Chain A
């Protein structure tokens, strides 16, 4: 899709980083406030879609997005597996206490979810954009 709209490109230059920042924020607040990995992933994919629409598919197609989703699945599953190494059940979650900062290990699972959502949505966006009209 080659919109080649200067207005859209200019907006995209600011909108994309802003969207990604919001996505990051939403990802981390997901534990206590509305948000989480899924929403953050959709938001990131929306930023990717803006990029696609504004700048064409060329650069986005250079990334193998399906690999992102596979990496995400590996992150999620390995987060489930490591408790088994210390005799806990699969997907058992702990809290990591780093000083005053508490990080539930479920965060890594959520990170995997986010990567999968981004990877899958971007795969579909890119592949559909590459289809011949």
Chain B
């Protein structure tokens, strides 16, 4: 990578903050703003785009860095290197057109959901910009997760539809879980290299070498790859993307074609200079990419729903990008992303227009819309040609250069399956994708108008109102046409080598000069291209016959259903476990608590090498009335245990409590005495208050073995506690064990630091005030819960009586 001088720039945080500020604005004032919210989001996208465009040029890199968590070396660091800046421009540029489109598209939606929609869309755009511009791994992770959360809100926009909720949940589960795994990978990388800075790692050969030599490297890369694969819907995590098509179409276009799913390949581009030399890099990425690519291409060919087709081909293209990175063939990764964003974004937006117009997205019901929708037809043709890789569109240049790359890359020949296999697979995938593009465009716009798709006919789930609706923004065709013309313009400019320069300027890594040209140079890439095109035409013509071949891939065991079953059984397992442990039997809880004391104390005593033989007690020290109280205590306890009514039992236990207080008098412990008496009083009041609500007593549900077990638990517990007390009183041990009285212990600490002679209280409110802080918070929560539960129950029973 050419060395760039770094210049500090405040434009970066401004470009990043703009969408977030707008998100807050739209979410808070959305109802009052109405359609204006959409215009503001579009303006924010344009603003970020222009700010980023205006950054200094090729020879300098804008950056921004303030310490964020200096204790662990995390900075709020942004950096607009060419690749990151390109991605940010892509995000904000496509974001502008999508927002523009959504103003009209969403105009007939439910107004109550719009503040959330615009807020989530703007926040999503900000987070994507954050991913593009972050120069800190932890910061990147943060933005990564924000995109998962905001995309959850966007996919689940129609929250009254079960399918939308399920799709959103599935996407969130997969991507957010992957994000957490990514976090582990990021932490491992930082652990080994000692820094979170992306440029700090990628620009330092010593650090990269240390990382590659570390035994943690495969684990770190594996974790990062799980994050990448979940986000960009790579096999075996590919199943959430088709299900996410329940999202409103602008969302699908933006998240699932142009930007979010590309965060995965983008991160691969960031990691390529770091992990590219690791032995597992090529086999893992190439295999996953190949499988995803072929699976998506095959599935896309079988689908009949316009958005499902696009989702499947998106998966295919993303697999293709993964494959590229696997071979380190990243010369034109940015060009690939740009091309895909342009044509796929345009096609998604066209699918939305078709959906609005014909109230269906099913190809079997569509056809002949070219006269009714001439401009979307034009956009679809241009985008479709780019998708199929026909000159003079950008798609052709990208495909040519990719074949060229594939044929010359050293890594491909090193791959186990061999160069021939990889090239054949890529040609095959391209054939399918081109045939799918033909199917999409021809099936929708050419042929005969089918009456089954007429207005008022079948209603697609998301076409809510017929299209006599008033557009609040520009006509819907503006955005898709703009994107498609972009693909055309860049393709034509390719004739002047402009696109080549562009690719060279923005690629994540350049190893040799890169050349694309619209004028075809005879050679193997061109033959592959032309042969592929011919096969695509043949495949399209034979689509009817192909359709009769039974689809055996993922029909009986759909991975999304498998995932959902897995999640459901996790819930069942959790319920099982908690029902076993938290079965509501107070007796069992008490037994568990009482038994854990002897176990833990036994372990502690064993470690300290203490046993009952160390106890030295002379009973003569005890005053006789203390012993008298102990006898009384025994009698009261026996009465409590053998009580036949609840009142009798509660009086007996209160008596026990007060006798214990008397013991504190005898042994001169006024502090505990005070507490004990008051607590006894208050708990007696409690018992009296709840006595009438209690079930019958004694309950006769305890068997004889149960009784014996209870006696055993009580005996063990009492013996161990007695032992502990005796040990703590034993001379020699007492001074060591007691953290209060030993020199420098809590007693002296309380006097010196807290200035109070009442060590207990100084400990509670000063020395250990953080503990107390937690305890009183729990106490407040308990009070609030009692209030809420009893009030709610009363309100329900009164309401029930009234009705």
Contact = CB atoms under 8 A, between A and B. Distances in A.
Contacts of A95: 755
B682 A129 contact: no
B99 interface: no
B780 A120 contact: yes
B617 interface: no
A125 B758 contact: no
Contact of B764 (A1, A33, A38, A104): A38
A55 interface: no
B780 A43 contact: no
Nearest to B684: A49
Contacts of B787: 66, 123, 127
B606 interface: no
Nearest to A76: B776
A82 to B, nearest CB: 13
A73 interface: yes
Interface in A12-33: 26, 30-33
B786 interface: yes
A11 interface: no
Given A102-B755, A127-B790, A69 B780 contact: yes
A93 B689 contact: no
B681 A69 contact: no
A59 B671 CA distance: 33
Given A46-B681, A76-B776, A91-B770, A128 B761 contact: no
Contacts of A38: 675, 764
A35 B758 contact: yes
A35 B211 CA distance: 59
Interface in A103-122: 104, 106-107, 109-110, 112-113, 116-117, 119-121
Given A46-B678, A110-B765, A129-B689, A73 B758 contact: no
Contacts of B690: 128
Interface in B723-770: 754-758, 760-762, 764-766, 769-770
B779 interface: yes
Contacts of A49: 682, 685
Contacts of A45: 682
A121 to B, nearest CB: 7
A53 to B, nearest CB: 8
Interface centre among B689, B786, B794, by most A CB within 10 Å? B689
A42 interface: yes
Interface string B766-790: 1001101100110110111011001
A69 B761 contact: no
B689 A31 contact: no
A70 to B, nearest CB: 6
Given A125-B685, A131-B790, A104 B766 contact: yes
A31 B682 contact: no
A69 B783 contact: yes
Given A31-B758, A104-B755, A123-B787, A93 B769 contact: yes
Contacts of B681: 46
Nearest to B797: A132
A69 B787 CA distance: 12
A36 B758 contact: yes
Given A69-B783, A117-B779, A39 B769 contact: no
Contacts, number: 137
Of B686, B782, B787, which is in contact with the most chain A CB atoms at under 10 Å from its CB?
A: B787
Given A36-B764, A43-B678, A112 B776 contact: yes
A87 interface: no
Contact of B762 (A31, A72, A121): A31
A61 to B, nearest CB: 11
A132 B693 CA distance: 9
A113 B772 contact: yes
Interface residues of A, number: 54
B783 A66 contact: yes
A106 B782 CA distance: 24
B780 A131 contact: no
Contacts of B414: none
A77 interface: yes
Given A34-B671, A72-B776, A128-B689, A80 B769 contact: yes
A65 B770 CA distance: 25
B552 interface: no
B776 A32 contact: no
What does DSSP make chain B's interface, helix, strand, loop or mixed?
Answer: helix
Contacts of A119: 780, 783
Contacts of B772: 109, 113
A124 interface: yes
A33 B682 contact: no
Interface in A50-78: 53, 65-66, 69-70, 72-73, 76-77
A5 to B, nearest CB: 14
B794 A130 contact: yes
A70 B797 CA distance: 28
B674 interface: yes
Interface string B660-679: 00000000001101110011
B791 interface: yes
B694 interface: no
B608 interface: no
Interface string B541-558: 000000000000000000
Contact of B756 (A32, A112, A133): A32
B678 A91 contact: no
B786 A123 contact: yes
Contacts of B686: 124, 128
Interface in B217-266: none
Given A124-B783, A128-B690, A77 B773 contact: yes
Nearest to B751: A32
B665 to A, nearest CB: 13
B692 interface: yes
Given A39-B675, A69-B779, A128-B790, A91 B755 contact: no
Nearest to A110: B765
A42 B678 contact: yes
Contacts of A128: 686, 689-690, 790
B768 to A, nearest CB: 10
A109 to B, nearest CB: 5
A91 B769 contact: yes
Contact of B674 (A35, A76, A113): A35
Given A39-B678, A73-B780, A127 B786 contact: yes
B779 A131 contact: no
A131 B790 CA distance: 8
A104 B756 contact: yes
Contact of A125 (B689, B756, B773, B797): B689
A109 B790 contact: no
Interface in B669-714: 670-671, 673-675, 678-679, 681-682, 685-686, 689-690, 692-693
A111 to B, nearest CB: 10
B770 A90 contact: yes
Nearest to A111: B765
Contacts of A106: 754, 762, 765-766, 769
A88 B108 CA distance: 55
B677 to A, nearest CB: 10
B800 to A, nearest CB: 12
B783 A120 contact: yes
A125 to B, nearest CB: 7
B586 to A, nearest CB: 18
A79 B787 CA distance: 26
B780 A72 contact: yes
Nearest to B789: A127
Nearest to A68: B783
Contacts of B685: 46, 49, 53, 125
Given A31-B755, A104-B754, A113-B772, 10 more contacts: A31-B758, A34-B674, A36-B761, A42-B682, A53-B685, A65-B783, A91-B770, A119-B783, A120-B779, A127-B786
The 6 closest A-B pairs by CB, nearest first: A120-B783, A36-B761, A31-B756, A34-B671, A32-B757, A128-B689
7 contacts: A31-B754, A106-B769, A107-B765, A109-B766, A116-B779, A121-B682, A128-B790
